[in-house]
Structure 1
């Protein structure tokens, strides 16, 4: 049953629209001409609209980890203290990357639950000297499927001088983000998830307050975000030869998001697809099947983490028999009994129902105990 289009339901790289692939499928123009720089500038403007900001923007050739390192290299110096709020595997990995660059990292860990603003406020209240230079948090932890309440975190920081740094790699283009209105100082994202583009580019938006922090002893010419954000030539945006095909792909993808569907409609679509996914898992629930995040308000609209006995067997079956690829149980206590269902970027009710239908077929075929009516519950959620 695998002939036909493959369904990729992993939380990045996410499926690419044919239009985006077609936009990238072209020879490079003269990078010293006028056309490509004009498209590049338009993409920078689109990215600011996407993030809800008029702040500075530095693009990098790299993935989300490159965005992490770029932020550290521009904001912090060896020995500086930061507080990282962790709610899953990726928050912990980010803390490790920052620590490996010589920064003094303190982790405020919340297991696989979203950060508690009250705990953050209490910790910052005890930092009377203002030694903590930044508070760092993933809006969505891609492994646990949690959604952090960024406005509440900003409010909990009060008048503490720390900068608020947000990883929106798995949330931008899927969940609301209003960088300026919410008081975010640094925002990090990448091209391969909600932006519906090829992997390989990362973006860091930074406020005037953040810009005033650097350069530091960690700021090399490659990482220096001032050279990129204030670029007067195409190559300076990218630290050398630009990723030509990616620029055209991003232009097409961002036009689809911002100008055709509309950003608030995009957010609403992701929220509705997430609710349909949760409805299916709840119906299958019991029997060792459960959503990893109990509170619906704390669940990400882009990816759903599930505990499910025999998850690895189910993942193998859906890929082999149906052509549907599910996400691994990254960071779970028992990875073999956990999986993730992505509903991010280029997806709709049809692709989601196909993914859930393959899962239900696998549960039946493998005789994995589950409750009835998963597809009906998802369909009812979509119909509502």
Structure 2
């Protein structure tokens, strides 16, 4: 049984940003939200909570830290101490509040564009200054089926940033929008660099449960012995189980240093966790495995379809299958839509894609396509893009 629903059916019943930002005739393939039904255990847990009126302020139990600890152990062999897990509303809040604990006003924070657009805002809100160390782009023509020859961290560039005074890295692992799963060796090298310079790594790992079968996820804090004392991981059930609106995320540490940062957080950071998000997250990590396996199978099929068809749909496109998640990073620089193809395609194709330049200047000429949808929806999106290309070519 498919976990996906038609985007057109969702349009009629859902009120989230994905289905209301554009008119109904525009196919929404932009924001990182999937066209799924809820996993049954998550739905049942939420229905029970609402039926029982359990919608007050979040409690102070250990259910979610322990559920995540078991999930991390089972899925990645990562031994997490539940006493070093805290919750808050979402990963955005977690990033800002952790950064506030580890930097001083004006401190440089390294980010690696092209990267999730709010990273710039997180640093600014926390009082820091962004230092960009772009990822190293792959060489040669893109092979849509090659998931191994992609982008990498510029470790030499990060070393130069540390030498220039940066002492914090805001890491994205897996990396959005590329679906890049950083190799253990690269993460360990980053950790050793950070140890050498007494730097901190704050690792956004929200897409980790969505790693595909041909890649292996390594939590930064578990990448090598030095890493455990160097930072904090941020994660949530929200991306994998499509729960963003329920508002719950986790901050995970692996050292007394992290415990000190957590103990210094304002109490409201934890108190603002949504109780329904907490409830949903416990159910997802405890009982959502079968649903997640079905989801990953559907995403893998869509990923393969995209690799098989994208060159025919958009001749000249550059694309590599992502190692994680449901986001395709399309290089459209050889096509006639300028620096921001998504802006043109929403009108010409009636398809809403993610704007490439929003991910940094390295995204000029790129667009992000969300294939977390039904096979029929993906087919419709590709057909519309093909028609838009043909009209341009004929014009």
Q: TM-score range by the shorter chain?
A: 0.5 to 0.7
Q: Which has the higher strand share?
A: 1
- Are 1:164 and 2:186 an aligned pair? no
Kept in 2, the 8 Å contact 1:85–1:137? The answer is yes
Change (3 A) 1:112 1:65: farther
The one-character-per-residue Cα deviations of 1:212-237 (angstroms, maximum 9, x if unpaired) are: 66379x843334xxxxxxxxxxxxxx
SS at match of 1:109: coil
Q: How far did 1:98 drift?
A: 1.8
**What corresponds to 1:382 in structure 2?**
none
Contact 1:167 1:189 in 2 (8 A): yes
Residues 1:154 and 2:187 are matched in the alignment? yes
- Show the counterpart of 1:279: 308
Which whole-Å CA distance do the structure 2 matches of 1:60 and 1:162 have between them?
24
CA change 1:214–1:317 in 2 (3 A) is: same
> Runs of 5+ in structure 1 lacking a partner?
224-237, 320-324, 372-384
CA distance in 2, matches of 1:163, 1:70: 14
Within-5 A mapping of 1:40-189: 40=64, 42-46=66-70, 48-49=72-73, 52-55=78-81, 56-61=84-89, 63-82=90-109, 84-90=110-116, 93-110=118-135, 114-120=151-157, 122-123=159-160, 126=163, 132-142=166-176, 144-147=177-180, 149-157=182-190, 158=192, 159-160=195-196, 161-169=198-206, 171-175=207-211, 176-179=216-219, 180-183=221-224, 185-189=231-235
CA contact (8 A) 2:179 2:325 kept: no
Alignment partner of 1:245 is 2:276: yes
Give the Cα–Cα distance (whole angstroms) in 2 for the partners of residues 44 and 305 of structure 1.
30
Whether contact under 8 Å (1:28, 1:245) holds in the other structure is: no
* Contact 1:9–1:355 (Cα < 8 Å) also in 2: no
Backbone CA RMSD of aligned residues: 4.3
Number of the residue aligned with 1:360: 382
TM-score normalised to the size of structure 2? 0.65
Q: Greater CA deviation, 325-334 or 133-142?
A: 325-334
Q: TM-score, normalised by structure 1?
A: 0.67
Matched residue of 1:164: which SS?
A: strand
**Using a 3 Å threshold, how does the CA distance of structure 1 residues 313 and 367 change in structure 2: closer, same or farther?**
same
**Alignment CA distance shift 1:370-1:301 (3 Å):** farther
* Aligned mates of 1:30, 1:118 — CA distance in 2: 48
Structure 1 distance, partners of 2:67, 2:60, is 10
- Tell me the alpha carbon deviations over residues 271-318 of structure 1, each in whole angstroms, 9 at most, x when there is no partner: 55434323321333425x333xxx65x764431022364655654677
The answer to whether the 8 A contact 2:107-2:129 is kept is yes
Give the whole-Å Cα distance in 2 for the aligned partners of 1:243 and 1:255: 18
User: Quick one: distance in 2 between partners of 1:86 and 1:286?
Assistant: 29
Partner of 1:283, secondary structure, is helix
Specify whether residues 118 and 103 from structure 1 end up closer, same or farther in structure 2 by C-alpha distance, changes over 3 A only: closer
CA distance in 2, matches of 1:68, 1:78: 15
